Structure 1
Amino acid sequence: MSSTPPPEPAPDSAPTPVPCPVTAVTLLEDRAEVRRLVRLDLAAGTHRVRLGPVSPLAVDRSLRAEPEPGAAVVVVDARLVRLYTPPPVGAPAEDASELRHRVHRLTERIRRLEADRERTGSRVAILDQLLDELRRDIAESAGAGQADPERWTAELDRAYQEHTRHTEAYRLLGRDLLKDGEQLRRAEQALEDAEERPLVLSAFVDVVVEASEPFAAAGLTVTQLTPCALWRPAYRAELAADGGSLTLQRDAVAWQRTGEDWSDVRLTLSTARTAQAAEPPVLDEDVLRLVDRTPEERKTIEVDLREVEIQTLGPADEDGAPDPAAALPGVDDGGEARVLAAPAPVTLPSDGRPHRVPLGVDTLPARAEYRATPELSALVSQVVAFRNSTGQALLSGPVDLVSGSGFVGRGDLRFTAVDAPAELSFGSEDTFRVTRSVEESRDTTALTGRTVITRTVRLAVSRFAPAGAPPLEVAVRERIPVSELAAVEVRLDKDRCSPPPDEVDAEGIVRYGLTLGPDERRTLVLGYEISAAKAVAI
């Protein structure tokens, strides 16, 4: 039994497009998934329907057209069709804006000025050639004894007058060209900012559907990926006057330049990276080689300080260093794809400008303190610690910091899991100054060969505040080394510490709590020893 293929739709050179506006958008890290819903009144049979217009940037292989569940409609084919419409030639229409007419008038005037300048330049070149011929004729005639001063004078005067006149006209035309060119540049920039350019390339979706029975208002969902759209998280943190609470506003900053506006769409934000490969890389062989150590190397253990540096992401320059000018920070989602939804419909015009989309506001308990890290900076900053009790992870992004005095600056919020602690710095307190000095001595015991390094850190904390200012508490943090080897010991010398530190954690962070009034100065002394065995080189 042979099956008969479905009949082909009737050819139609220019079918009437059916509008299919965007109803839902999922913004990814560097692209967008656009969904459209269109209702069709179909009779029984096969139909070819043109939907659109849609963005000409749509990715062809990502196009999908699916009927609603339960609809007696089958999608036979769906493809993108692009049409090229050349820009209009000549003067703009009468109903065009005055700005567009001004651009056209300036363009025509510059075209005429360029033609006149080219003709004038040709005449100046001919007159230059004429003057050279006259000078050569005078020289040859004078050498042959055929002098005619009156004719020579008249011809030279006439040629010089014409040359001067045309040279001046050439200069004035150049001046007018520069002036009109500047006016045209400003008018084009104003037109670019005020009006959208008409699309030269347009796109439609041609769908071939087959209905087994007449169907009214059949729903058809069209989905495709589109570049030139992205989003990044952003926040606004407002600290209460007493420092006991923090109002955190979660936003998304979205851009799109797809060629079509998104009006009242359901916006979903995703951190999924669809451009990354779905297959794991193939592991290469790792060859291990054993090398015999020398007797001297077996006796010596090298110890050094280890600093951990977090690398930035983005393209690198020729030397392999990250290029901050060309790198765009990605979305840090903690390694797990996350989906956020806008609580209300969103309108995003296709202007390529950032638009802030609110996602939610939460008031969180917080604790504010003034903190100093003299090893890194001589300033004292106000740090606000809080716990993420919003119910969802906070992605990395910039934070607009607001306190009782208004906007105080912009900070960065690192990725924070649900119910995890986080900190924000609200800038420095300018009435504080911290100075730091380090003294170090090294001693090696001749009998045992043990090396002892003694370090003394002196911190001077001063406050230059006007009289009558209330006292402020500041937490001073300093660090001491932490040993990972049994042959190296680090000991805090409390006898040389003045005053003794309030707290020392397992990571070697020493904490002091001070309360300073106006024009008060406190000096902190921290002493510790690093002791290493003879076989350890430090």
Structure 2
Amino acid sequence: MNSIIPLTQSSLRSLAPQGRPSGRSRSRALRAFEVSHLRRSAGILAFTASTLLAGTALAADFNPANSIGAVTVFPAGAEIERQASLDMPTGDHRIIFEKLPDGIRPNDVRVEGDSDGGLLIQAVDVARVPVTGDPAEANALRKERETLTDEKDVLEGRIRTAEMQRQMILMLVRPAATPKDAAVAQPQMPPDQLFSFIAERHAEIEETIHQARQDIRGIERRIAEIDRALSRTSGEQEWASRIIVSVSAEGAVNGKLRLRYRLADASWEPVYDARLDTSADKGKLQLTQRAMVRQYTGEDWSGVALTLATARPQGATAAPDAQVRYVGFARPQPRERAGGVFSDYSADAAAMAPAPEPEAVMEQQMKEQRVAVTDLGFDAVYHVPGLADIPATNDLRLVLVGDHDVESEMEARIVPAVREAAFLTVNFSHDGSAPLPPGAVRLFRDGVFVGEGHLPLSNPGQETELGFGIDERIEVKRQLVSKQRGEEGIFSKARTDTNDWRTLIVNHHGIPVDVVVLESLPQPLDEKINVVALSTNDPADESDVDGKSGVQAWRFKLNPQGERTLAFGYRIDWPQGQNVVLGMR
């Protein structure tokens, strides 16, 4: 390897030719050697410098142009995917993503990519950095505002001058009255020329005023923009996230990098339009599934591939621990009022229980019920067709998910003890690949909006019920035909209460209608209370409907203008000296 030889007199003498040449020849030899030696040293220095500079260029920071390409929105939160193109030489580099929304957590960041060479992702760092305005830019905006204010003053002065000129022209058109004995001044120009002059000058003045006012409006708009920009820079400190991806390239690399991160300020919920066509024997039901998406993440989603997921990344992932539960006698609670035998006939169902459960247990049950409403127990993903635009304004944006045409069975459902009306109910099951999550539904019957309801969770192949409001063409009348209270027994008296109803259903449709009538036989909570169905009752087609004790169902078909009367009643016996209450659970 070549080395640099120091140019000293001793070295020159040691390398000079031996012998005793003449002084002139020795001088020429020394000069030739110096030139050769300097050329060789310069080459070595140039090679060393180029090597050092090349080594420095291999380690660099890159701020690649990037954009949001895909977004996955969860019921609470969203995952954003940014895409960037890479073109970098060999070496260790840092890829920097600036001005990302505040609130990105390091554990919520994932980086992956594809390249034509060896590229190793070494580390990913997330930092929260303040967003500070440029003082030079703020000063430039203030100077621009001053200049615009001066220009506005000049334009307003131009308008005032033009208005004065307009007043003078009007004075020429309407000259002031002169006394009778005063001499009338003759115009200096013929009337035609005067009128032409007035018209020409008046048009010029109006154009000047119009143009000045237009310029003032433009200046005022620009001043408002400057004021907004200055207010942002002088307001509360804003923050942003910066993500630095450290990579090592074995060679020149071309490829794409995908940066994924999660943010909390986004959500979606399903909504539906249900359109029922009752003209066919089997109701044709069309379900239009949409999603209400909103986001306030600090960055707009423009032209993104939108995916909706039912998973909840921030929810619980492990089953809860089973707790030891106890049961014991409850202390008697005072009643607020006393009454007769059936004075609390419509009291709350809690009064029926002989021993209310402790408050802690009741509270826990309520919490479990609320969680059951929101936790679906499955993961489904909906890919929204096309590209979507969701601005970061927290406004609701409706996105079409898809349409479902399903065959359905219609029936008129009647609960006469609650309301004397028939409710059109549709039973259907969809054959889609993904479940339909629960959500609000707008109901249309034969093209007419009839109200809003709630669609329960519907898994593929699972039968689902959906109510479409009251059917006005089915008449329902319920009448209490007998009510008896008394005592029985000679030695041991017992109290009795007998109720007997008749329910009339009439079909005023021009087509047959399937009808379901639901009644409830009271269930005793104490062995001393006895409830017996009356022998005159019509036999029920189903008992304990949907697992509810005592709920009975009658199913039948009513022809056009057909009618049917159902008999239902019961008798309650209980010991004398006790009061009973009826309620619902």
Compute the RMSD of aligned alpha carbons: 4.8
Q: Which residue of 1 is the match for residue 291 of structure 2?
A: 252
1:361 to 403, 407, 410: 403
- Mapped pair 1:40 → 2:86: yes
Deviations 1:495-538 (CA, angstroms, capped at 9, x unpaired)? 3x4xx3562423422326474867x9865432223456899985
SS in 2 for 1:223: strand
TM-score with structure 1 setting the length: 0.61
- Deviation of 1:223 after TM superposition, in Å, equals 1.7
Distance 1:523 1:220 in 2: 73
Distance 2:296 2:141 in 1: 25
- Mapped pair 1:262 → 2:304: no
Consecutive unaligned residues in structure 1, runs of 5 or more = 1-6, 106-186, 293-303, 309-319, 321-328
* Matched residue type, 1:47: H
2:522 to 462, 481, 485: 481
2:503 to 459, 466, 471: 459
Q: Which residue of 2 is the match for residue 64 of structure 1?
A: 110
Distance 1:46 1:290 in 2: 73
> Is the 8 Å Cα contact of residues 436 and 460 (structure 1) preserved in structure 2?
yes
1:505 to 521, 543, 551: 543
> Is the 8 Å Cα contact of residues 20 and 52 (structure 1) preserved in structure 2?
no
Q: Pick the structure with more helix per residue.
A: 2
Distance 2:576 2:434 in 1: 53
Distance 2:397 2:271 in 1: 11
1:30 to 76, 79, 86: 76
Q: Which residue of 1 is the match for residue 357 of structure 2?
A: none
Q: Which residue of 1 is the match for residue 310 of structure 2?
A: 271
Q: Which residue of 1 is the match for residue 253 of structure 2?
A: 216
Greater C-alpha Rg: 2
- Mapped pair 1:424 → 2:424: no
Deviations 1:254-288 (CA, angstroms, capped at 9, x unpaired)? 11121222233333323333333556666776566
Q: 1:107-506 alignment to 2 at 5 Å?
A: 201=238, 203=240, 205-240=242-277, 241-242=279-280, 243-278=282-317, 332=373, 335-350=376-391, 351-438=393-480, 439-447=483-491, 452-461=496-505, 474-482=515-523, 490-495=531-536, 497=537, 500-501=538-539, 503-506=541-544
Change (3 A) 1:377 1:391: farther
* Matched residue type, 1:378: E
1:525 to 552, 556, 567: 567
Consecutive unaligned residues in structure 2, runs of 5 or more = 1-54, 153-219, 332-344, 351-362, 364-369, 581-585
Distance 1:16 1:41 in 2: 9
SS in 2 for 1:21: strand
> Is the 8 Å Cα contact of residues 232 and 331 (structure 1) preserved in structure 2?
no
Distance 1:418 1:365 in 2: 13
- Deviation of 1:76 after TM superposition, in Å, equals 2.5
* Matched residue type, 2:381: L
Distance 1:347 1:202 in 2: 27
SS in 1 for 2:501: strand
Q: Which residue of 1 is the match for residue 165 of structure 2?
A: none
Q: Which residue of 2 is the match for residue 79 of structure 1?
A: 126
Number of residue pairs the alignment of both structures matches: 403
* Matched residue type, 2:458: T
Percentage identity across aligned positions? 21
* Matched residue type, 2:522: P
Distance 1:395 1:366 in 2: 19
- Deviation of 1:480 after TM superposition, in Å, equals 1.8
> Is the 8 Å Cα contact of residues 86 and 255 (structure 2) preserved in structure 1?
yes
> Is the 8 Å Cα contact of residues 396 and 415 (structure 1) preserved in structure 2?
yes
* Matched residue type, 2:124: D
Distance 1:408 1:378 in 2: 19
Change (3 A) 1:29 1:71: farther
* Matched residue type, 1:246: L
Deviations 1:12-34 (CA, angstroms, capped at 9, x unpaired)? 9xx77423222222212221111
> Is the 8 Å Cα contact of residues 342 and 357 (structure 1) preserved in structure 2?
no
Distance 1:77 1:61 in 2: 10
TM-score with structure 2 setting the length: 0.56
